[in-house]
Structure 1
Amino acid sequence: MRALVLSLFALATAISDAEKSLAKFLVNRTEPADEPCFRAEFVVKIRSDSNNQGGELDFNEIKPIVGLSNKNVNRNESNCDLLQIDGIVTDDGGNYSLAFVINVVEKSEGQEWWEIKEITLTNTFDQVQYKNDSMQHIAAPLAGTWGQSFLCNAGFNVELWSENMDHFVTINLARLQIQPHKVPADTFANPVICEEDINIVIPAIVGSILGILVLVVLVTYIIGRKRTRIAYQEI
């Protein structure tokens, strides 16, 4: 009984910590009306090359940033094409500002797409900026049709490099959902799901179907055996 209580307490603590690290942000446009035009939520981890030391990158050792909220949005800089989050404090004492820059493109006549053009991370102590403006090369291209959100629960890494390319910082974005411009009032629109999530969901669905089939076969076998036994006894 005591072990069960401790397990439930540990599970509740883990869920609580996970929710504390899930940051939610919203930017409103003011014209022509006061309405949302950029919504995002994610869990972020930050790792610099100094504590990577050339070894294999393992974000399991890094704690997610906690305490971020909509209050961290820089209202002077943020708009429908840019989300800037200030006051990101890491365990090693770093203080950063994270920005997502949106680009709207027309891929076919009458259909517009949005994409993340650039992610920047600025060290507010020394004003060194780390940037990645080649987002199409990461594992999960951050893009969607106009009026759609982008969803990636599994998460992925993005390398951000300094201007002279001699230092880099890697960020890990998980439980990410983001949507610029045509944003519903209180939620996200239907998402484009990243490849990482699809690779997890499809095996889970296949496994569930196989499990159901095994259960059906087992139940059918038990019923068949029971009927055979009854028929044998009647003879």
Structure 2
Amino acid sequence: MATRSPWPRPLSLPCCCLLLLALGGPGFFQSHAVEVDVKDLSNNTCIYAKWMMSFLIKYETNSSEYKNATLKPSVNVTHDGSTCGNSTHAPLLAIQFGAGHSWSINFTKTNETYQGNIISFTYNTSDAVFKDAKTKGPITIVVKDPMHPVKLNTVYKCHHLDSIEVANVSLFFWDVILQAFVQNGTVSKNDSTCEADRSTVAPTTVANLTTASITTASITTASSPLPTTTSKPVEKPLIGNYSLKDGDKICLLATMGLQLNVSQEKPVLININPKTTNVTGSCGNTSATLRLNDSNRRFIDFTFAVKNTSANTQRFYLKEVNITLISSINGSEPLNAGNNNLSIWDTFLGSSYMCQKEQTVLVTEDLQIHTFDLRIQPFKVQDNKYSKAQECSLDDDTILIPIIVGAALAGLIVIIVIAYIIGRRKTYAGYQTL
């Protein structure tokens, strides 16, 4: 659930007196591992945690458009309210950073295990990173921690990147080292590795995670790898059918095959598999967004807008594309890129746009999207089905006929001219001087 009321300051209980928070990591686009050591009144550790985290947030602007912003803990992190807990309050790990942002998690235990319970994240849209935000002020989301139970007196470790999505927020965590309910004030030497790390082969170290328009947190030490994704599909991608609902009615329809062309260290083609892709987004009267999130941590946002023409008619078009690739490709850095100055897939409002031939959407010089068998209708969907389609010029075979006829006539003229020149030369060669 998400609320728009400020999250209250975490409880500060008498049993918790000392907490050490360390930030570190080189690099110009520097990201900071957060290290927290919560101690009780006897100076004994009760919670130890070190992890990397980043937040990708979608928000509405004053022009009813949607944009993305990224938050990450930086050097001004504080830790008010972290506590060892007591008989009435659960242990709590809490941090605050930036312009009014905070994150916390509490823990529960049984006789044999412990685990995270409730995660709370508050972001403040009054921060400058939320440019032209329609709603100003703190917004809180609360979500159940998906972490599996861990044996007591064991340190949970997980290098693998994991994410939690709730409302318009994606929370990313990786390089996690955690022990709650530390016994005798000493962090255990026994490890419990997450299943994702056990199933990951040859992880690749990523030094930094930088973005073109959104900056996401990065790994700062050589011992903190992200998993490598090295898929190189070359065949035509599967065609996916995607839709969004407003209540019980479909408000956006999309059908397409998607292929990413990424040029980092070397060009790589990546097919998006619709069978393992999650669909989210939003519908509006003048702006709509389709977000696709596949199982390999690839996020693609298509933002559509409505415009008025000089003929007092309304048309829709693809205005913006944003892509975030969290998993590295061939050992290269994860990336984020966007293009907010598009004007393609243009047709009348109330119609659908269709293009069966392959099209290329330029995001950046190093990142393009290839679409196949495209059909899209982001507004005014009637009876949960597509309206009449406006075909793209690539599919319009009628314009090929005059082109073919013209080319044939031009070729015929060239042949006649060449034959005439050759004939003239032979005629001149037939006369000899006496």
User: Which bin holds the TM-score, normalised by the shorter protein?
Assistant: 0.5 to 0.7
Question: 1:40 touches 1:176 (CA, 8 Å); kept in 2?
Answer: yes
- Structure 1 residue 157 and structure 2 residue 364: aligned? no
1:43: Cα distance to partner?
0.5
How far apart, in 1, do the equivalents of 2:347 and 2:310 lie?
13
Question: 2:289 touches 2:303 (CA, 8 Å); kept in 1?
Answer: yes
Render the CA deviation track for 1:5-54: whole Å, top value 9, x for unaligned. xxxxxxxxxxxx97x81111111113xxx32211101011112113655x
Render the CA deviation track for 1:61-90: whole Å, top value 9, x for unaligned. 946333446x6102xx4334111011254x
How far apart, in 2, do the equivalents of 1:114 and 1:133 lie?
15
SS in structure 2 opposite 1:185?
coil
Where in structure 2 are the equivalents of 1:161-180 lying within 5 Å? 161=364, 168-180=366-378
SS in structure 2 opposite 1:184?
coil
1:175: Cα distance to partner?
0.5
SS in structure 1 opposite 2:395?
helix
How far apart, in 1, do the equivalents of 2:300 and 2:275 lie?
12
Q: Which ranges of structure 2 fall in alignment gaps of 5 or more residues?
A: 1-234, 328-332, 405-434
- Structure 1 residue 196 and structure 2 residue 394: aligned? yes
How far apart, in 1, do the equivalents of 2:370 and 2:265 lie?
15
Which residue in the other structure is 2:76 paired with? none
Q: How many residues align?
A: 162
SS in structure 2 opposite 1:197?
coil
Q: 1:118 aligns with which of 314, 320, 325?
A: 320
Which residue in the other structure is 2:251 paired with? 37
Question: 1:88 touches 1:97 (CA, 8 Å); kept in 2?
Answer: no
How far apart, in 2, do the equivalents of 1:160 and 1:116 lie?
12
Q: 1:72 aligns with which of 259, 267, 278?
A: 278
Query: Which structure carries more relative contact order (alpha carbon 8 Å, separation 6+)?
Result: 1
Decide which moves more: 102-111 or 34-43.
102-111
SS in structure 2 opposite 1:86?
strand
Question: 1:131 touches 1:160 (CA, 8 Å); kept in 2?
Answer: yes
1:133: Cα distance to partner?
2.1
Question: 1:65 touches 1:88 (CA, 8 Å); kept in 2?
Answer: no
SS in structure 2 opposite 1:36?
strand
Where in structure 2 are the equivalents of 1:5-44 lying within 5 Å? 21-30=238-247, 34-44=248-258
1:134: Cα distance to partner?
2.7
Question: 2:257 touches 2:372 (CA, 8 Å); kept in 1?
Answer: yes
Render the CA deviation track for 1:131-163: whole Å, top value 9, x for unaligned. 122323xxxx211111011101002112223xx
SS in structure 2 opposite 1:196?
coil
How far apart, in 2, do the equivalents of 1:124 and 1:184 lie?
36
Give the direction of change, closer, same or farther, for the CA distance of 1:157–1:29 in structure 2 (3 Å limit). same
Question: 1:68 touches 1:88 (CA, 8 Å); kept in 2?
Answer: no
Which residue in the other structure is 1:48 paired with? 262
Decide which moves more: 100-109 or 145-154.
100-109
How well do the aligned residues superpose, as a CA RMSD in angstroms?
3.0
How far apart, in 1, do the equivalents of 2:399 and 2:307 lie?
30
Q: Tell me the amino acid that sits aligned with residue 24 of structure 1.
A: N
Where in structure 2 are the equivalents of 1:56-135 lying within 5 Å? 62=269, 64-68=271-275, 72-74=278-280, 77-80=281-284, 81-87=288-294, 89=296, 95-108=297-310, 110-125=312-327, 128-135=335-342
Identity of aligned residues (%): 18
Question: 1:103 touches 1:117 (CA, 8 Å); kept in 2?
Answer: yes
More helix by percentage: 1
Question: 1:142 touches 1:150 (CA, 8 Å); kept in 2?
Answer: yes
Question: 2:258 touches 2:272 (CA, 8 Å); kept in 1?
Answer: yes
Render the CA deviation track for 1:72-111: whole Å, top value 9, x for unaligned. 102xx4334111011254xxxxx31111101111114642
